[in-house]
Amino acid sequence: MTNCPVLIRIWYIFPQLAGLATSTRSKRYAISSLEEAQAYLAHPVLGTRLAEIPQAILDSKTKTALALMGTPDFIKLHACMTLFMRADPKQEVFSFQAVLDKYYKGVPQALTDDILNIQNNTSSKVDRSAGQSKSATQTKDASSKEDKEEDPTLGSDPETETGFATTEQIGGRICSMGG
């Protein structure tokens, strides 16, 4: 790990759907559609890495995405896992739903789903309940004061220019991927 960079840029590690953020960096690395996300997953290098990195996150003993990734990167992780869960509903590349289950009570990010619904026109809406153990309404109703204190920025604007996560936060496994 001596040659491993201390900081990893989150935007290209966990790309999210265009329209969620407005910075130059977010626009540069944004995925424009569900079809582009599917092509990303089919790419021999990008798809493989996008499966390996969330596995490192799942292997982490850290109990919350906020504690693991920090602010605002835990929001970007949520957006990314939602996008790729929708792009790979049969879990042929990776179970992105598993990350949503562990860190987000199984609930996909609503903003990502909303943008996908707009892109698909209303004729083929994304089913937000697909792959979830609880509906968004059930989870919202079940949210406790403790949950809100634990993730104080949940639901806030995902956009900032600070998109970094340390390799130690995600198990140090990024360095072994040659990125």
pLDDT at 44 over 80: yes
pLDDT above 90 covers a percentage of the chain that reads 51
CATH topology of domain 7-177: 1.25.40
What is the reported pLDDT for 175?
39
Taking residues 16-22, report their average pLDDT.
91
pLDDT at 171 over 50: no
* Rounded-to-integer distance, Cα 103 and Cα 123, Å: 31
What is the reported pLDDT for 54?
94
As given in the structure block, the two tokens for residue 14 are 């966990």
Nearest Cα neighbor of 65 from 52, 51, 80 is 80
Measure CA 57 to chain center. Answer: 11
What is the reported pLDDT for 4?
41
In a 10 Å sphere around its CB, with 0-12 CB exposed, 13-18 middle and 19+ buried, how is residue 92 labelled? exposed
Phi-psi sector, 27: left (phi>0), alpha (psi -120 to 50), beta: alpha
* Rounded-to-integer distance, Cα 80 and Cα 65, Å: 13
What is the reported pLDDT for 18?
94
Statement: the pTM of the whole predicted model exceeds 0.75: no
E strand intervals along the chain? 7-9, 164-166
Per-residue pLDDT tens digits for 58-78 = 999 999 999 999 988 999 999
Q: At what angle do helices 73-87 and 110-119 cross, to 10 degrees?
A: 40
pLDDT band at 9 (very low <50, low <70, confident <90, very high): low
Nearest Cα neighbor of 154 from 62, 76, 56 is 76
What is the reported pLDDT for 136?
37
What is the reported pLDDT for 126?
58
Residue labelled with tokens 């992105």: 96
Per-residue pLDDT tens digits for 75-130 = 999 999 999 999 999 999 999 999 999 999 999 999 999 999 988 764 455 565 55
Apex 113 CA angle, 68 and 12, nearest 5: 45
pLDDT at 167 over 60: no
How many residues are there in the chain?
179
* Residue 12: half-sphere exposure toward Cβ, Cα within 13 Å: 11
